[in-house]
Structure 1
Amino acid sequence: MDITMPQLGETVTSATITRWLKAVGEHVSADEPLYEVTTDKVDTEVPSPIAGVITEILVTEGSTVPVGERVAVVTEDAAATGASKSAASPKASAQSAVGDELSVQAPTPVKGLVTSPVVRRLITQRGLEASEIVGTGEGGRITRHDVEAASPAPKKAVTEPKPRMERGDEVIALSNVRRITAEHTTRSKATSAHVYTSVEVDFEQVERTRRAHGAEFREQEGFSLTYLPFIARAVADALHEFPIVNSSLDAEQMVVHHALHLSIAVDLDFAGLVAPVVRDADGKRLTQLAREIRDLGSRARAKRLKPDELVGGTFT
């Protein structure tokens, strides 16, 4: 069976394979992690859809492949035991060849079809019009490569000097998440207004509640009740009272979001920082918020988040 790059999210059109977790000849179980990938949203593991033996690895580590492209071949357990007993008939082989030929035919290029926010932002940065770009992605979608081909990024006039290295210094390669975070932070500093404010809050009542119900909560849920769910609940209540704060700017207009999706920052140490989203947080009780925040944090550290769980936040 061909193993293809799955659709990791609505906005994801390609992914980079960073590490194979299995080698040719090894057995893999269904839903067992097969390889690790990185996208512009998240690092995650991709499980095998079937159980069997890996007979081919078609993509090397570090390669970026589009959604739907073959990356490996796994011989299913049932097929592996019966493969030596019978060969495919000429008729079946011919039908398979025709099917393969039809399946690899490229879709007719379409102009102007954009689905990814990342691609839309790149088109704006390059000063292009989506209607003039031919999309080569699935269904005619415009990909990052299409935009770059239409207008290559200008070369930097000045190259910044590399940091001076001394004996004993350690070089740590940036993860994809950390690199993209740095790029977005720099862009945000240049394009967004930054206002800072601080307010002193009395948490005495929150602390009393934690002490009074902490043991019971831990016994029922299996983890400790921290301050974060209380803060998330307070933010949800505040945004419900002042909905204009739950807004964003889109070109020349303000968009006030009626739904409240809270992005919760999760520190991944040297791997970077991600902000998975608790959806419809304003309609959830404290216990449910605590469960979801813990679940998202645990899966973020285990590289089990889906890219769609990192988009759509309205307040961080």
Structure 2
Amino acid sequence: MSTQVLMPQLGETVAEGKILTWFKSEGAEVREGDNLFEIETDKVTMEVQSTAAGKLSSIRVQAGEVAKVGAVVAVIGGEREAAATPRISAPQRAAAPSAAPAANGRATPSPAPVPTMRSPFEEVATPAESFGNAKGPLGLRLTPLARRLIAQNGLDAEAIARQVSAAGGSKISEKDVRAALAAPAPADAPDTGGAGPVVSPPASPKPVAIAPLPGSVMQLNTIRKRTGERLAQNWQTIPHVFQAIEVDYTVVETVRAARKASFKAETGVSLTYLPFIARASCIALKEFPQVNAQFDGSQLALASEVNLGIAVDLSHNGLVVPVVRSADDLTLPGLAKAIARQIDNARTGKLTGDDFAGGTYSISNNGAFGTAFTAPIINAPQVAILSTDAIRLKPAVVETEQGAFVAPRLTGMVGQSFDHRAFDGAYSAAFLSRLKAILETRDWAAEFA
């Protein structure tokens, strides 16, 4: 009996994964629990263990290739069953009509392959035929999806390669092929028989060609590229508004200074300002539920609990936002430990897809770098994100019953980017004012009782 190895679901928004390396080769014996392969998505890199024992009879997706969630990437055991899996045979492929060039210079697309039998448990079928070599014209590499789109649409791979090369690219991706598909047909295209011109959607903006410069080229990793794509989409589709307010952290610092040494000794966790800000945020979010929500474009889903995303920098090689679930149920010490645990998991590659799912509000903390204020990009479908920056000792006017006077105070900016479709500026400002009041006046010592 054979066991199909599927590309796992690593989070509710992850649609595909790239196999970085196989730890076993075809024909090798695999035990249940053995590390089988390593995958990289736009959010996480992790090792996948085998759930079955037997001989690794077939590897369907090679290292460096991308597969959709649910796709069969390998088969363990049952060589006869694996060999009997319906596939398109060589004679069938030979009998398929070839792509004939059309008058406009593009080849007529070949008919789509007849679907093969699949398990009802598979989400996505693997391709039924090969779509060419990964090495394309002009020495450029073609991604698997780019090869399929070129073959199925009868495109000129060399023409696409020239455009990509002129723009300074090193590989042909799905985006390049879709841009070629969206490009208008040549001027000498044949008459359409009175049906009217075919209107193509506007092409995606082409990357700006970079003139050769002295130095080196740094290839972006998958996390960096996918993070950039997602943030660019959020910036373009969400009407961002940013507000900030200055907070006096002197009361927080009094408690933090008194507790940080013992807290470190007891838990091994450093007591920073972040847990205080996170705890104050959870309290304020309960009073302003529209901030703790998700927006789908037409309606606002108010969350009953606070699932707090914490932005984590991966040594300047990418950004991830793991979630602390039910953060509103945790005390300040509990939040400090939960946040530290997620940050450590992020930096040691131990996060799973579930660690990124279900966030309702996020915090980005750049204070360690000395920034004055930061306007972050919203992590959709959330509707707001908080930023915290450097806390410095400054002269400030202090109001007392005896009058106002100038005194040294620890102050810093707290800002919030919010989606103007979800609520207005007055609502956001009221939330920030309440957050400020909690940070400045709460009995923080009681959190440690």
- In the alignment, the residues of structure 2 paired with residue 178 and residue 98 of structure 1 have an alpha-carbon distance, to the nearest angstrom, of 39
Tell me what 1:119 maps to: none
- In the alignment, the residues of structure 2 paired with residue 241 and residue 258 of structure 1 have an alpha-carbon distance, to the nearest angstrom, of 12
SS of equivalent to 2:262: helix
- In the alignment, the residues of structure 2 paired with residue 198 and residue 71 of structure 1 have an alpha-carbon distance, to the nearest angstrom, of 48
**If each structure's helix is expressed as a fraction of its own residues, which one has the higher value?**
1
Aligned length: 262
- In the alignment, the residues of structure 2 paired with residue 241 and residue 26 of structure 1 have an alpha-carbon distance, to the nearest angstrom, of 58
**1:45–1:304 CA contact under 8 A, matched in 2:** no
Find the partner of 1:137 among 123, 147, 155. Answer: 123
- TM-score, normalised to structure 2, is 0.50
- In the alignment, the residues of structure 1 paired with residue 208 and residue 236 of structure 2 have an alpha-carbon distance, to the nearest angstrom, of 22
What's the CA shift for 1:5? 2.9
**2:323–2:359 CA contact under 8 A, matched in 1:** yes
Tell me what 1:180 maps to: 226
Tell me what 1:308 maps to: 354
Tell me what 1:78 maps to: none
Tell me what 1:160 maps to: 207
What's the CA shift for 1:23? 5.7
What's the CA shift for 1:240? 1.2
Alignment of 1:269-280 (within 5 A): 269-280=315-326
Unaligned ranges ≥5, structure 1: 76-87, 110-135, 140-144
**If each structure's strand is expressed as a fraction of its own residues, which one has the higher value?**
2
- In the alignment, the residues of structure 2 paired with residue 172 and residue 165 of structure 1 have an alpha-carbon distance, to the nearest angstrom, of 14
Tell me what 1:106 maps to: 118
Q: Which moved more, 1:279-288 or 1:28-37?
A: 28-37
**1:15–1:65 CA contact under 8 A, matched in 2:** yes
Q: Deviations over 1:200-235 (max 9, x none)?
A: 111122222222121221122122112211111011
Q: Is 1:240 the equivalent of 2:286?
A: yes
- In the alignment, the residues of structure 1 paired with residue 204 and residue 21 of structure 2 have an alpha-carbon distance, to the nearest angstrom, of 35
**Would the alpha carbon gap of residues 294 and 15 (structure 1) be closer, same or farther in structure 2, given more than 3 Å must change?**
same
SS of equivalent to 1:251: coil
SS of equivalent to 2:17: strand
Find the partner of 2:244 among 184, 198, 202. Answer: 198
**2:71–2:123 CA contact under 8 A, matched in 1:** no
**1:45–1:303 CA contact under 8 A, matched in 2:** no
Tell me what 2:369 maps to: none
Tell me what 1:39 maps to: 41
SS of equivalent to 2:48: strand
- In the alignment, the residues of structure 2 paired with residue 293 and residue 68 of structure 1 have an alpha-carbon distance, to the nearest angstrom, of 31
**1:13–1:137 CA contact under 8 A, matched in 2:** no
**Would the alpha carbon gap of residues 278 and 244 (structure 1) be closer, same or farther in structure 2, given more than 3 Å must change?**
same
- In the alignment, the residues of structure 2 paired with residue 66 and residue 208 of structure 1 have an alpha-carbon distance, to the nearest angstrom, of 52
- In the alignment, the residues of structure 2 paired with residue 231 and residue 160 of structure 1 have an alpha-carbon distance, to the nearest angstrom, of 40
**Would the alpha carbon gap of residues 295 and 22 (structure 1) be closer, same or farther in structure 2, given more than 3 Å must change?**
farther
Find the partner of 1:220 among 243, 259, 266. Answer: 266
**Would the alpha carbon gap of residues 99 and 9 (structure 1) be closer, same or farther in structure 2, given more than 3 Å must change?**
farther
Structure whose CA Rg is larger? 2
**Would the alpha carbon gap of residues 258 and 158 (structure 1) be closer, same or farther in structure 2, given more than 3 Å must change?**
closer
Q: Deviations over 1:147-173 (max 9, x none)?
A: x99xx6735366333222322x22111
What's the CA shift for 1:138? 5.4
Residue 212 of structure 2 aligns to which amino acid in structure 1?
Answer: M
SS of equivalent to 1:198: strand
Residue 247 of structure 2 aligns to which amino acid in structure 1?
Answer: V
- In the alignment, the residues of structure 1 paired with residue 56 and residue 342 of structure 2 have an alpha-carbon distance, to the nearest angstrom, of 31
Residue 37 of structure 2 aligns to which amino acid in structure 1?
Answer: Y
**Would the alpha carbon gap of residues 253 and 209 (structure 1) be closer, same or farther in structure 2, given more than 3 Å must change?**
same
Q: Deviations over 1:76-120 (max 9, x none)?
A: xxxxxxxxxxxx9xxxx98x679977xx832579xxxxxxxxxxx
SS of equivalent to 1:62: coil
SS of equivalent to 2:63: coil
Unaligned ranges ≥5, structure 2: 87-115, 126-144, 153-177, 184-202, 363-449
Residue 105 of structure 1 aligns to which amino acid in structure 2?
Answer: M
Find the partner of 1:60 among 59, 62, 74. Answer: 62
Q: Which moved more, 1:177-186 or 1:50-59?
A: 50-59
Q: Which moved more, 1:192-201 or 1:58-67?
A: 58-67
RMSD over aligned CA atoms reads: 3.8
**Would the alpha carbon gap of residues 53 and 223 (structure 1) be closer, same or farther in structure 2, given more than 3 Å must change?**
farther
- TM-score, normalised to structure 1, is 0.68
**2:309–2:361 CA contact under 8 A, matched in 1:** yes
Find the partner of 1:264 among 293, 299, 310. Answer: 310
Percent identity, please.
38
Q: Deviations over 1:243-284 (max 9, x none)?
A: 222233322333322221111000013431010111111111
Alignment of 1:84-95 (within 5 A): none
